[in-house]
């Protein structure tokens, strides 16, 4: 675990050092849980968004996109349930005056019990060497059994309290388990209270008062309130989908793990409108399609798993997460929800407008049911970064840090490097850049020794380096170096476009989804 923590710290500092992610307001010492994307980060992020957008809108004739405003009528959030039910349970320590999420305090406590179990196992593994049988040890060691029984009992209590929204029961767990404040070290806790996660601000400044509005906590509601507009103007027939990419804001209390949980983040959401009664069929279909989209990136099938929800949100009749193996464990990257007709019905009720679909095949009106796919751009970014990062020891004992980014997502697709800064090589290299730059993000670099330049490109995940040397001037060939294998092949300049395109085009990735 400690080793994984170290790797994660290295990834975070690599992201800053190479222009992927900076803390927001860095020169003012940052702003908690808010981040900026740098020159390479924004390209990687845009490529992720393009991959999602094209997979939705190009590959599905019945999915169109929109871009709705962040500010929306405040009644929308009443209708959606966010004003009344978008809460976290909070508890304060009276001595340190620090505020915590009660559920996170308990989860951290559970993780400490897990650590104790893992330590016992690691100690025994060291003692018994190759003969160690972990399953048998877990089943028979008295101390491990005691920890495990305690953990299971606590976990059940916790799940029951969370499912019932029982704030007193959550507090009682904290008291019974003698959980202390990490700052003051005391158990002097307040009651647990609900805290709404939406950011509120004022719109307008008229004498008779400004209107309170919220920064949207999800992009989905912008789709629901445009359902009629899109269905009518696009003459859409059910089943059809509306996709949107945009910022969302949540006043997360416990914001941690870098860009995993932020206060300002980006979502890629698609609402798929279907006939009532057909929603679970479409839910299963979208589960399959979305996992395929992730796996096509080639980051390792074993790094994904579904997590089906036992506890469903008030609007859902089925829900699952696609989880990805981050350095800190399997974590949710995407949610797929069968949201019934809850949202459209609520907006019908609160707006007073009829939101129905006339189904010509059934010859009847109904409120469509909805399957939602909702993925966080930043979490997707983090999963790509974490799974790409490698500190590699090379055959001669040398080391390099390389990002094995899926080539179509890489911020820079190829770097053109004149071997020396004279003899007409820079001019020849510039000619190649001027040809390739219309189709690929191309870098030109002439400073430092060639090995150092290769390392810099490896560190930002550039799939190809093209080296221009004296032979190039004679026969129009260059060396094409591939990032992962580091293999160098002599190729004709005329073939560069095709060779690069085959590896880096988004179309090649999209074709895998057929
Ligand atoms: N419209 C449904 C919805 O918003 P959600 O599970 O709350 O569902 C969907 O969020 C996705 O948005 C998550 O799977 C995650 O990738 C991303 N997400 C949610 N909160 C986030 C946060 N604070 N920081 C970064 N990403 C977040």
pLDDT of residue 64: 98
Look at the chain and count its residues.
514
Spell 47-86 as b/e; 16+ CB within 10 A means b.
bbbebbbebbbeebeebbebebeeebeeebbebbebbeeb
DSSP state of 164: T
The three-state DSSP-derived secondary structure of 178-243 is: CCCCCCCCCCCEEEEEEEECCCEEEECCCCCCCEEEEECCCCHHHHHCCHHHHHHHCCCCCCEEEE
Q: Is 269 in the pocket of ligand 1 (CB under 6 A)?
A: yes
> Which pLDDT score, from 0 to 100, does residue 256 have?
75
Three-class SS state of 327? coil
Mutate to test the pocket of ligand 1, among 21, 82, 244, 265 (most ligand atoms within 8 A of CB): 265
Q: Report d(CA 333, CA 377) in Å as an integer.
A: 9
User: Does the beta carbon of 376 lie inside 6 Å of ligand 1?
Assistant: yes
Ligand 1 centroid, distance to 388 Cα (angstroms) = 22
- Cβ neighbours around 510 below 10 Å, total: 17
HEC per residue, 340-383: CCHHHHHHHHHHCCCCCEEECCCCEEECCEEEEEEEEHHHHHHH
Q: What is the pLDDT of residue 277?
A: 96
pLDDT at 1: 56
Q: Is 265 in the pocket of ligand 1 (CB under 6 A)?
A: yes
Contact 246, 222 (CB under 8 A): yes
Q: Within its chain, how far is the Cα of 204 from the centroid?
A: 34
271 lines ligand 1 (CB under 6 A): no
- Residue whose CA is closest, atom 16 of ligand 1? 376
**Angle at which helices 39-57 and 377-388 pack, to 10 degrees?**
110
Q: Is the CB of 216 under 6 A from ligand 1?
A: no
257: left (phi over 0), alpha (psi -120 to 50) or beta: left
Encode 371-398: b = buried (16+ Cβ within 10 Å), e = exposed.
bbbbbbbbbbbbbbbbbbbeeeeeeeee
Whether 252 is in the pocket of ligand 1, judged by its Cβ within 6 Å, is: yes
Closest CA to 230 of 387, 62, 367: 62
Nearest-CA residue for atom 21 of ligand 1? 261
- How far apart are the CA of 333 and the centre of ligand 1, in A? 8
**CB of 121 closer than 8 Å to CB of 144:** yes
Ligand 1 centroid vs 265 CA: distance in angstroms? 8
Instruction: Give the model's pLDDT for residue 260.
Output: 95
Please identify, by atom number, the ligand 1 atom nearest to the C-alpha of residue 218. Answer: 4
Task: State the pLDDT at residue 444.
Answer: 98
Nearest residue by C-alpha to atom 17 in ligand 1: 376
Any residues with CB less than 8 A from the CB of 35 and at least 6 apart, and which? Answer: 21, 22, 23, 24, 258, 259, 262, 378
Ligand 1 pocket check for 220: Cβ under 6 Å: yes
pLDDT in tens, the chain (514 residues): 567 778 999 999 999 999 999 999 999 999 989 999 999 999 999 999 999 999 999 999 999 999 999 999 999 999 999 999 899 899 999 999 999 999 989 999 999 999 999 999 999 999 999 899 999 999 999 999 999 999 999 999 998 998 888 999 999 999 999 999 999 999 999 999 999 999 999 998 766 677 899 999 999 999 999 999 999 999 999 999 999 999 999 999 876 789 999 999 999 999 999 999 999 999 999 999 999 999 999 999 999 999 998 778 778 999 999 999 999 999 999 999 999 999 999 999 999 999 999 999 999 999 999 999 999 999 999 999 999 999 999 988 899 999 999 999 999 999 999 999 999 999 999 999 999 999 999 999 999 999 999 999 999 999 999 999 999 999 999 999 999 999 999 999 999 999 999 999 999 999 999 8
Return the best residue to mutate from 199, 260, 306, 335 for the ligand 1 pocket (most ligand atoms within 8 A of CB). 335
């Amino acid at each position: 675990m400690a080793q994984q923590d170290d790797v994660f710290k290295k990834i975070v500092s690599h992201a800053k050092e190479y222009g992927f992610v900076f803390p927001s307001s860095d020169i003012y010492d940052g702003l908690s849980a808010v981040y900026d994307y740098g020159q390479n980060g924004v390209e990687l992020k845009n490529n992720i968004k393009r991959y999602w957008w094209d997979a939705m809108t190009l590959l599905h004739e019945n999915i169109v996109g929109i871009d709705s405003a962040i500010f929306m009528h405040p009644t929308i959030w009443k209708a959606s349930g966010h004003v009344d039910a978008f809460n976290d349970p909070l508890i304060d320590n009276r001595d340190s005056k620090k505020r915590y999420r009660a559920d996170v305090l308990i989860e951290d406590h559970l993780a400490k019990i897990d650590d104790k179990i893992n330590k016992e196992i690691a100690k025994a593994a060291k003692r018994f060497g190759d003969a160690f049988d972990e399953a048998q040890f877990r089943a028979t060691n008295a101390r491990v059994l005691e920890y495990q029984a305690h953990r299971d009992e606590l976990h059940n209590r916790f799940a029951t309290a969370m499912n019932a929204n029982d704030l007193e029961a959550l507090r009682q767990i904290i008291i019974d388990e003698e959980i202390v404040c990490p700052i003051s070290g005391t158990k002097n806790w307040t009651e647990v209270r609900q805290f709404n996660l939406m950011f509120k601000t004022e719109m307008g400044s008229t004498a008779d008062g400004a209107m309170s509005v919220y920064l949207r906590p999800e992009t989905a509601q912008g789709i629901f309130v445009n359902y009629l507009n899109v269905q009518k103007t696009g003459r859409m027939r059910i089943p059809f989908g509306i996709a949107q990419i945009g910022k969302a804001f949540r006043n997360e209390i416990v914001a941690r793990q870098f860009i995993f949980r932020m206060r300002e983040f980006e979502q890629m959401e698609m609402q798929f409108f279907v006939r009532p009664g057909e929603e679970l069929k479409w839910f299963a279909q979208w589960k399959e399609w979305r996992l395929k989209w992730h796996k096509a990136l080639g980051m390792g099938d074993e790094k994904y798993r579904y997590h089906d929800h036992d506890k469903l949100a008030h609007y859902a009749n089925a829900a699952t997460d696609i989880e990805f193996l981050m350095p800190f464990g399997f974590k949710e990257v995407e949610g797929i929800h069968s949201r019934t007709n809850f949202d459209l019905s609520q907006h019908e009720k609160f707006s007073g407008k009829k939101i129905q679909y006339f189904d010509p095949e059934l010859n009847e009106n109904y409120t469509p049911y909805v399957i939602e796919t909702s993925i966080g751009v930043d979490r997707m970014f983090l999963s790509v970064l974490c799974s790409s990062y490698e500190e590699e020891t090379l055959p001669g004992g040398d080391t390099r840090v390389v990002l094995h980014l899926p080539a179509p997502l890489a911020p820079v697709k190829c770097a053109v490097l004149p071997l020396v800064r004279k003899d007409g090589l820079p001019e020849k290299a510039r000619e190649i850049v001027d040809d390739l730059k219309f189709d690929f993000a191309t870098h030109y670099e002439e400073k430092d020794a060639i090995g150092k330049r290769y390392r810099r490109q490896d560190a930002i995940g550039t799939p190809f380096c093209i080296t221009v040397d004296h032979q190039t001037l004679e026969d129009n060939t260059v060396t094409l170096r591939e990032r992962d294998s580091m293999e160098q092949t002599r190729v004709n300049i005329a073939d560069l476009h095709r060779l690069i395109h085959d590896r880096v085009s988004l179309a090649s990735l999209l074709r895998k989804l057929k």
